[in-house]
């Protein structure tokens, strides 16, 4: 992995507002938030009895393109190890920080022995980066 694999940005929007705007962008491009009910980690931790500090605001947004994922995993279930794609939106210093970890084609090929998958997944990662920027 190299530093270019980490997308770093910030927005003036709250994590919740970014997630809402991001959901609209994703929908226009055929993607969904797979964990909409549990992406607010403060709420999720509290539901499970964990104490969370005041002001803790982290949304872990799982991005999925169901039609593409179903075909991809049907062709090779080994691909699943690299399929979960999470965009992080969290409060820090009065702004919302955005993070997205992706992998380049050679890293993907090193994990999954598959002729087609590295290029296809790298395209998905790039598209997600573009949609994050659109929702900022």
pLDDT tens track, the chain, 136 positions? 567 789 999 999 999 999 999 999 999 999 999 999 999 999 999 999 999 998 899 999 999 999 999 999 999 999 999 989 999 999 998 899 999 999 999 999 999 988 889 999 999 999 999 999 999 9
Domains in the chain, please, with CATH?
3-135 (3.30.310.70)
DSSP-based helix, strand, coil % in the chain, nearest 5: 50, 25, 30
pTM above 0.75, yes or no: yes
Q: How does 99-130 read in b/e, with b if 16+ C-beta sit within 10 Å?
A: ebebbbeebbbeeeebeebbeebbebbebbee
> How far is it, in rounded angstroms, from Cα 132 to Cα 136?
6
Tokens of 89: 């939106």
Give the number of residues written for the chain: 136
User: In this structure, are residues 33 and 62 in contact, taking their beta carbons and an 8 Å threshold?
Assistant: yes
């Amino acid at each position: 992995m190299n530093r270019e694999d980490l997308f770093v940005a910030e927005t003036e929007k709250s994590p919740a507002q970014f997630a809402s705007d991001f959901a609209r962008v994703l929908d226009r491009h055929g993607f969904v938030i797979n964990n909409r009910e549990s992406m607010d980690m403060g709420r999720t931790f509290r539901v499970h009895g964990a104490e969370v500090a005041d002001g803790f605001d982290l949304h872990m947004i799982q991005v999925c393109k169901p039609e593409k994922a179903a075909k991809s995993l049907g062709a090779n279930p080994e691909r699943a190890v690299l399929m979960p794609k999470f965009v992080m939106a969290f409060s820090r210093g009065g702004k919302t920080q955005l993070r997205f970890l992706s992998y380049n084609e050679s890293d993907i090929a090193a994990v999954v022995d598959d002729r087609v998958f590295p290029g296809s997944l790298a395209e998905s990662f790039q598209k997600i980066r573009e949609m994050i920027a659109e929702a900022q």
